[in-house]
Amino acid sequence: MAVTSRRVARVVPLAPAVVLLALFMLGPVVWSFYGSFTNAALTGPAALNPEWIGFDNYVALVGDPDFPKSLWLTVVFVFLSAVVGQNVMGIALAGLLRSAVKPVRSIASTVVVAAWVLPEIVAAFAAYAFFHSEGTLNTLLAGIGVTGPDWLYSTPMLAVILANIWRGTAFSMMVYSAALAEVPPELTEAAQLDGANGLQRLTWVTLPVIRRSISTNLMLTTLQTLSVFTLIYVMTGGGPGTDSSTLPILAYQEAFKFAQVGYGTAIATVMIVVGGIFSVIYIRALRPEVD
Amino acid sequence: MTDTMTAAPVEGTRRGAVGPLAGPRITATKVAANLVLLVIAVSFLLPMAWIVVASLDAEATLSFGLPDAVTVDNFSAIMTPELTWLPLWNAFVLSAGSAAITVVVSVLAAYPLSRYRMRFGKYFLYSVLFGTCLPITAIMVPVYALFVQLNLLDSLPGTIFFMAATSLPMAIWMTKNFMDSVPISLEEAAWTEGASAMQALRRIVLPLMRPGIAVVFIFVFVQAWGNFFVPFVLLLSPEKQPAAVSIFAFFGQYGSVAYGQLAAYSLLYAAPVLGLYVLVNRISGSAFALAGAVKG
């Protein structure tokens, strides 16, 4: 009896956290699964008393040409800006910083980190102005005699991908800087004595040693990039048309612009499932450290 | 969390890892590396530099360009209560409110997780870790529907509690790691003298982990201050909206004309975050503290 009450007393301090997480994190996730089976709308009778409509939203989702397109754009966005862009750029920067002189190192790392620390809406304005047809990029191109296109209109995906690399590389740079600092210098020196060139040392010595950092960083940047909304919404609004509508933009527009909350929720559910799968892989990789 | 989330400072890492093999060829490589870094730094700087020059230019355009005459007119034009001060105050209330709630709740939760071995604790930590991964933008549509049902839409307290909840997973994780580094022997002494767990937490553990608590507070504050999507969806009346949302409304209304004012507003709104970032680096003595704190 005494043992039980002591056990209960021990977990009481967890209660506020459990309540908040259950209400505002678990609640919406459960609601998302439930709501995606209803015809919930923004206004009107279906707003307060949505009806159960089974798999209709998902059937509509598969039949809607916007959804596969948006799914594809999301894959392209995540792959090129996070998996390739931020990771390669991050590891390259981390490597370059190690062989740079101190002032250059301070300047470069401060500037890269500043783009990451800025509030997202300010970063989005800055990127919007940079890629605008009358923006800095086209002024620079005009300086060398090239008339640049209207990036946000003619190549919206390229613009948002480059903007997201600019915005997010700092995180990968920091993770890889820490990882490279832990690579024993003897290893690379030994390879160098054996006649390995720079690329060979990178491929056969450095990358295998930091592979855990690489997989963790890939997972985290993928999850972060999957949920990018503000940057794209400010730069292109998902357009022109739906040419840069990734899943978060599509879900938002369906739910709030076209008032189809149930339909938007179905898209959200797809995102939660994708995010959930990535999270489980990530947690399994970290498991030994939790136990 | 992992060896990889650590973040040793870039500055101050082993400098000049040249080793015994340094020679003239390596020097050429180093010059190239420095040049490449400078080029990258300039290209990363350009989009941000536009904000600074445009804010000081009476005839700002969307392109980077030095103003003919430096002026502070853009700043004085936007410094009105309804345009700037009220939204900044709202942002402060939202951020400070959710940071305070998050710190209190995560300190309470971290204590049993850090001090007792519980079967339940492990599952809880797993769910928390899962929560840190959940993409918040993915749940905003269902959150809106939930807020309609709970009648919390357009409610500042409702939004504060929601933002606190979404930052809890990361905050609990960080707080637990900070708490793990406070030795338990001090509390054991207090326990034998009859102090309760909560007394030991308040009198012994908290004072020893003050820097850690400051880092968690600033971490949550900065995230909430910069958050656009959550208040954009949950707060509808302009007089309740924080700066992130009102600056976007300003962009929609005047943004296509008054670039200078938009830039000035952006600077004013971004300044506290930049200041806090410098502060958190001072507190924890590492340039990448926010990422590094996660490891503990």
Quote the ipTM score.
Answer: 0.85
How wide is the angle at C-alpha B91 spanned by C-alphas B87 and B93, nearest 5°? 115
| E strand or H helix at A184 | none
Q: Where in chain B is the domain with CATH 1.10.3720.10?
A: 75-292
Q: Which residues of B touch A256 (CB under 8 A)?
A: 144, 233
Token pair belonging to A289: 């450290």
Residue corresponding to tokens 């992130």: B244
Amino acid of residue A221: T
CA separation for the pair B290, A174 (Å, rounded)? 10
**Cβ neighbours of A158 (radius 10 Å):** 15
> Quick check: is A128 in a domain?
yes
Note the pLDDT of residue B8.
Answer: 40
The domain that holds A234 is classified in CATH as 1.10.3720.10
Residues A77 and A213 in one domain: yes
Cα radius of gyration rounded to whole Å, chain A:
24
Integer Cα distance of B91 and B93 in angstroms: 6
Amino acid at A155: T
Count of alpha carbons within 13 angstroms of residue B211, beta-carbon side: 15
The boundaries of the domain holding residue A43 are: 27-63+260-291
Split at pLDDT 50, 70, 90, the class of A157 is: very high
Tell me what pLDDT residue B168 has: 92
Rounded to whole angstroms, the Cα distance separating B236 from B244 reads 13
pTM of the model: 0.85
- Residues A102-113 pLDDT 10s: 899 989 999 999
Same domain? For A207 and A192 the reply is yes
φ and ψ at residue A38, rounded to 5 degrees: -120, 170
Please tell me whether residues A211 and A276 are part of one structural domain: no
Q: Which of B10, B141, B148 sits opposite A105 (nearest CB)?
A: B10
Residue B256 corresponds to which amino acid?
S
**Do residues A153 and A289 share a domain?**
no
The answer to whether position A8 is within a domain reads no
- pLDDT attached to residue B7: 41
Q: Side-chain half-sphere of B196: how many Cα atoms within 13 Å?
A: 6
A129/B168 CB distance under 8 A: no
Residues 6+ apart with CB under 8 A from B256: none
User: In whole angstroms, what is the distance from residue A86 CA to residue A78 CA?
Assistant: 10
Residue A178 and residue A117 share a domain: yes
Tokens of A104: 């250059």
- Expressed in percent and rounded to 5, the helix, strand and coil fractions of chain A are 80, 0, 20
Query: Does residue B205 contact residue B179 with C-beta atoms inside 8 Å?
Result: yes
What is the rounded radius of gyration, in angstroms, for the C-alpha atoms of chain B?
Answer: 23
| Assigned token pair, B82 | 């309804």
- Whether the predicted pLDDT of A122 surpasses 90: yes
Chain-centre distance for alpha carbon A200: 31
Read off the tokens for A240: 């022109």
Together in a domain, A125 and A40: no
Tokens at residue A137, please?
């990029």
In a domain, A266, yes or no: yes
DSSP A84: I
pLDDT per residue over A65-115, tens digit each? 888 899 999 999 999 999 899 999 999 999 899 888 889 998 999 999 999
Per-residue pLDDT of chain B (296 residues; tens, 9 = 90+): 333 333 444 444 444 444 445 455 568 888 888 999 999 999 999 999 999 998 888 877 888 878 777 888 888 888 888 888 999 999 999 999 999 999 999 999 999 888 887 777 778 887 887 777 777 888 888 888 888 888 888 999 999 999 999 999 889 988 988 888 888 888 888 888 888 888 888 888 888 888 889 889 998 999 999 999 999 999 988 889 999 999 898 887 765 668 888 899 999 999 999 888 888 877 766 544 444 433 32
What's the pLDDT at B6?
A: 39
SS3 B67: coil
DSSP conformational letter for A51? P
**Same-domain status, A57 and A82:** no
| Nearest-angstrom CA–CA distance, A228 and A281 | 21
Distance in Å, alpha carbon of A128 to nearest chain B alpha carbon:
9
What per-residue string of b and e applies to A127-143 under the rule 16 or more CB within 10 Å gives b?
bbbbbbeebbbbbbeee
Let me know: does A226 contact A78? Beta carbons within 8 Å: yes
Q: Is the pLDDT of residue A48 over 80?
A: no
Would residue A22 count as lying in a domain? no
- Neighboring chain B residues of A117 at a CB cutoff of 8 Å: 222, 273-274, 277
The total domain count for chain A is 2
* pLDDT score of A51: 77
Residues near A170 by beta carbon (within 8 Å), at least 6 away in sequence: A90, A112, A113, A115, A116, A117
Distance separating alpha carbons of residues B147 and B142, to the nearest angstrom? 9
Q: Which amino acid is at B58?
A: A
A217 domain residue, yes or no: yes
Q: Is the dihedral of CA B177, B295, A226, B251 positive or negative?
A: positive
Q: Residue A195, CB half-sphere, CA atoms under 13 Å: how many?
A: 0
User: DSSP per residue over A246-273, as a string?
Assistant: -HHHHHHIIIIIS--HHHHHHHHHHHHH
- Give the chain B residue whose CA is nearest to the CA of A173: B10
**Residue B12 confidence (pLDDT):** 40
Q: How far apart are CA A183 and CA A196, in angstroms?
A: 17
Q: Per the domain annotation, does A201 fall within a domain? A: yes
Choose the closest CB to B135 out of A40, A98, A223: A223
Which candidate from A109, A185, A271 shows the least CB-CB separation from B11? A109
Closest-CA residue to B1 (of B130, B137, B135): B130
Check whether domain B75-292 has CATH 1.10.3720.10, yes or no? yes
Angle between helices B210-226 and B156-180 (to 10 degrees): 150
Q: What is the pLDDT of residues A195-250, one digit of tens each?
A: 888 778 888 888 888 887 888 888 888 888 988 999 999 999 887 888 999 999 99
* DSSP assignment of B238-278: GGG--HHHHHHHHHHHHTTT-HHHHHHHHHHHHHHHHHHHH
Burial of A57 (0-12, 13-18, 19+ CB in 10 A): buried
SS3 B126: helix
Residue of A nearest to B135 (CA): A227
* CB within 8 Å of A30: residues ≥ 6 apart: none
- Which chain A residues contact residue B228 at CB under 8 A? 119-121, 230
Q: Determine whether the interchain pair B14/A181 forms a contact, defined as Cβ–Cβ distance below 8 Å.
A: yes
Phi then psi dihedrals of residue A52, to 5 deg: -75, 125
Q: Give the mutation candidate from B11, B27, B44, B59 for the A interface (greatest A CB count, under 10 A).
A: B44
Tokens 């039980």 identify what position?
A: A4
pLDDT over 60 (residue A117): yes
The rounded percent of chain A whose pLDDT value lies above 90 is 30
Cβ pair A145, A60 in contact under 8 A: no
What per-residue confidence (pLDDT) applies to B77?
82
